Amino acid sequence: MPAVMDQIRAWSANLSYWEQMTLNMVVSGRDLTEADYHLLLDYCMQDAGLVQMPMRPKIDFPRTYPADAKARYRLERLFNLRNVNALASGQELKFGPQLTAVYGNIGAGKTGYARPLGCAGLGGWRIFARSVRKGGTGTREPLRFSDTLLVFSTQMTLDETVADIVDGLAHIDVSRVPFRAFQPGVGPYAEPQLIRLIATYLNELPKFHGAVRTKRTPDLLIPNQWAMEFKITRPYGDNGREAENWSVNLLHPYAGNVSTIGDCCKLANLRCPERKAVVVIGYEHTPPKTDLTPLIESFEAIARYVAHIELSQRIECRREGLVHPVHQAVRVFAWEVMGQCAAG
């Protein structure tokens, strides 16, 4: 995503001011208000020399798209395609929420649908070509394009799922319902109670179909999508005092323990159809008195070079402005657990 954002930034350099400001607002991920529309109209008129305005703010185009942005986008259809392979004009392909199958003889235009998806580099899309079962013999004939079933499969990406989790944390926070006798806010919640609340929030989103559930292993299961283990880290307690041993939950490097390293080992050996991920929920002051970044980098180093866990690149979402006076910002980190390599 950063490389794409850099390309957009370079492309926008030649746009007029009002166009750059519009793009900046859209990429920031926030909802545009009526006041924003009027402001953009004023900038447009000023660029055209129709009105005079005071000094305009400098545009600070973001380098990354905020994963916690409220807007969520899903590809629903392809239409109005022209001159793409043998695809006839006027065709339309509608996509299901997870799986779409297209069948046709050779030259019918199946790859005409696959080609734009591949060129667009849309994350989360997987395209399969499979031979079709013939008759009732239970056998499969050799793969031939004339007998091909083209399957488009969409899966929830990790950054999308983490963004939904962060939205859930913010939702819990604004309720101001305290955990036990602690101060209001999401920060003090213990891990089991917090994960149950996250599952409840996710199940209210249509795309999860009410199927998310908590388990002993994994902590959170999104059927056919993700098996997730969670850990919470707080450098400071509810009373504002520095916590003791607050980093141990991440770094203890032995299989069978309850650290995030142990969770990685557990997930690597878990037999399930879902992809596997570890998630760390961390709280900081704003600005941070104790930055969580060195802890996270230490976890990654131990996981990869000591425990020999194969992790994906780190996903991170941050949300500030929490109601708790100590846990003022939440940072959520996640990695897909790809497996565990033999030491050597």
**pLDDT confidence tier of residue 97, bands split at 50, 70 and 90:** low
| Strand-pair partners of 130 | 149
Quote the pLDDT of residue 30. Answer: 65
Tokens of 118: 């591949």
DSSP string, 14-72: TS-HHHHHHHHHHHTTPPPPHHHHHHHHHHHHHHTTS---SPPPPP---SS--TT-S--
Extract the tokens encoding 150: 């083209």
Percent helix / strand / coil, the chain, rounded to 5: 30, 20, 45
pLDDT, one tens digit per residue, over 288-323 is: 999 999 999 999 999 999 999 999 999 999 999 999
Q: Is 121 left (phi over 0), alpha (psi -120 to 50) or beta?
A: left
Q: Could you tell me the CA-to-CA distances from 229 to 39, 84, 317, 336 in Å, in that order?
A: 45, 44, 17, 11
Residues 275-285 have pLDDT tens digits of 999 999 999 99
- Asked if pLDDT for residue 247 goes beyond 50, the answer is yes
Residues 238/323, Cβ–Cβ less than 8 Å: no
Please report the sign of the dihedral spanned by the C-alpha atoms of residue 211, residue 214, residue 217, residue 221. Answer: positive
DSSP string, 28-42: TTPPPPHHHHHHHHH
Q: Please report, rounded to a whole number, the percentage of residues in the chain having pLDDT higher than 90.
A: 46
Strands 213-214 and 92-94: unpaired
Mean pLDDT of 160-169: 94
> What's the whole-number mean pLDDT along residues 184-198?
96
Quickly state the pLDDT bin for 133 (edges 50, 70, 90).
very low
pLDDT of residue 81: 76
Residues forming beta bridges with residue 291, ordered by sequence position: none
| Per-residue DSSP letter, 303 | H
pLDDT digits (tens, 9 = 90+) for 71-88: 445 677 878 877 777 777
Q: What is the pTM of this model?
A: 0.61
Asked if residue 205 has pLDDT above 70, the reply is yes
Torsion angles phi and psi, residue 59, rounded to 5: -90, 120
pLDDT at 138 over 70: no
Q: What is the pLDDT of residue 57?
A: 80
CA distance 53 to 152: 50
Does the pLDDT value for residue 67 go beyond 70?
no
| The predicted structure's pLDDT at residue 3 | 57
